[in-house]
Amino acid sequence: MAGLKVEIEQQRPFFSAEEEALLNLLRTSDCLQRALHRKIRPWGVTATQYNVLRILRGAQPAGLTCSAIGERMITAEPDITRLLGRLKALKLIRQQHDRHDRRVVWTQISEAGLRLLAEMDPVVQKAPGELLGHMSAADLAALIGLLELARNRCVSSHPAGSADPKSVAPSSGE
């Protein structure tokens, strides 16, 4: 197996083991993201849009606010409002203003969104096995532990448990 240095045709040694690990992580993340995107592309949605739909399916029937969706995203999305606007234009979500605070918008997955996910699920659920199935259970457990350990050093603007209580359930029906 060729190492990262060979893959990127780097002549000089890495500055540190941390640099080599970080670059390996970024290269691997990009590779896995591109493979997942190829699986999702036939349905006309991006991996980010797919992530939002899965989040909203898990939050049924209440739905979530924009900020709550943003906190649950796998990758940070700077413009959740625009992302949701695209999903709404595709009729994959529906939105409503909170009865008590018109500034708060609740988003739920639509029936069309649920049908799309149901169609995608069999293909997308195979992807982790296809991409990582060559690793043993012990390797996967070690990888998960190491990734979580590395992520603990990242600064989060939304620490676990600090979600806005208003982002848990809507105060008005549809």
pLDDT at 127 over 70: yes
CB 65 within 8 A of CB 106: yes
How confident is the model at residue 44, as a pLDDT?
93
Q: Report d(CA 37, CA 157) in Å as an integer.
A: 27
User: pLDDT band at 164, cuts 50/70/90?
Assistant: very low
The dihedral sign for the CA sequence 16, 18, 22, 25: positive
How confident is the model at residue 159, as a pLDDT?
45
- Percent helix, strand and coil across the chain, each rounded to 5? 55, 5, 35
How confident is the model at residue 4, as a pLDDT?
81
> In the chain, pLDDT over 90 holds for what percent of residues?
63
Q: Report d(CA 85, CA 47) in Å as an integer.
A: 16
Mean pLDDT calculated for residue range 67-80? 88
- Domains of the chain (ranges, CATH numbers): 18-151 (1.10.10.10)
Q: What is the identity of the amino acid at 144? A: I
47-58 helix and 80-89 helix, angle to the nearest 10 degrees = 80
User: pLDDT band at 168, cuts 50/70/90?
Assistant: very low
pTM of the model: 0.78
Q: Report d(CA 128, CA 52) in Å as an integer.
A: 19
The DSSP letter of residue 172 is S
CB 126 within 8 A of CB 36: no
Mean pLDDT of all residues belonging to the chain: 86
Mean pLDDT calculated for residue range 45-50? 93
User: pLDDT band at 154, cuts 50/70/90?
Assistant: confident
How confident is the model at residue 2, as a pLDDT?
66
User: pLDDT band at 107, cuts 50/70/90?
Assistant: very high
How confident is the model at residue 170, as a pLDDT?
43
